[in-house]
């Protein structure tokens, strides 16, 4: 994209409820970072094939999911090894509630996230 196209896309995203949360360079591959959107804690992850965003706290004991191990499309909570599917937000291998999955869009080098409608 050329700079004018990036600026136009950014304006469109911002008017549709998306928030710029950083750049693709801010998150190393297979790691996560936490951000806050409208008071809601969100973990953004860089995967091998793109990015994912989910609620930042594990539903089990509120562990910091952005600090978890990322592998096979899942993040493992660093507190009690609960695995969360980054595409669905479901807990894998344990019973219990999952987390909300948020939309991620890349424009140029910028990362944009929009909260899931269930948490807005």
Write down the domain spans for the chain.
3-114
pLDDT over threshold 80, residue 80:
yes
Amino acid 111: pLDDT: 97
Could you tell me the sign of the dihedral formed by the alpha carbons of 12, 113, 45, 23, in that order? positive
Of 10-14, 39-43, 69-73, 102-106, the range with the lowest mean pLDDT is 10-14
pLDDT over threshold 60, residue 120:
no
Helices (H), 18-65: none
Rounded Cα gap, residues 10 and 75, in angstroms: 29
82 close to 89: Cβ distance less than 8 angstroms = no
CATH fold, domain 3-114, is Rieske Iron-sulfur Protein (2.102.10)
Backbone angles phi, psi at 2, to 5 degrees: -85, 160
Per-residue buried b or exposed e for 16-52, using 16+ beta carbons within 10 Å of the residue's own CB = eebbebeeeeebeeebbbebebeeeebbbbbbeeebb
CA–CA distance from 92 to each of 48, 73, 103 (Å)?
20, 11, 21
Amino acid 95: pLDDT: 83
Is 0.75 surpassed by the pTM of this model? Answer: yes
């Amino acid at each position: 994209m050329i700079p004018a196209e990036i600026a136009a896309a950014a304006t469109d995203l911002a008017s549709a409820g998306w928030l710029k949360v950083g750049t693709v360079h801010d998150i190393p591959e297979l790691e996560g970072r936490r951000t806050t959107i409208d008071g809601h804690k969100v973990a953004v992850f860089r995967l091998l094939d793109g990015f994912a965003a989910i609620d930042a706290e594990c539903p089990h004991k509120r562990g910091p999911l952005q600090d978890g191990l990322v592998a096979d499309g899942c993040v493992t909570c660093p507190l009690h090894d609960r695995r969360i599917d980054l595409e669905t937000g479901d807990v894998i291998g344990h019973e219990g509630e999952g987390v909300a999955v948020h939309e991620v869009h890349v424009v140029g080098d910028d990362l944009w996230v929009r909260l899931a409608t269930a948490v807005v």
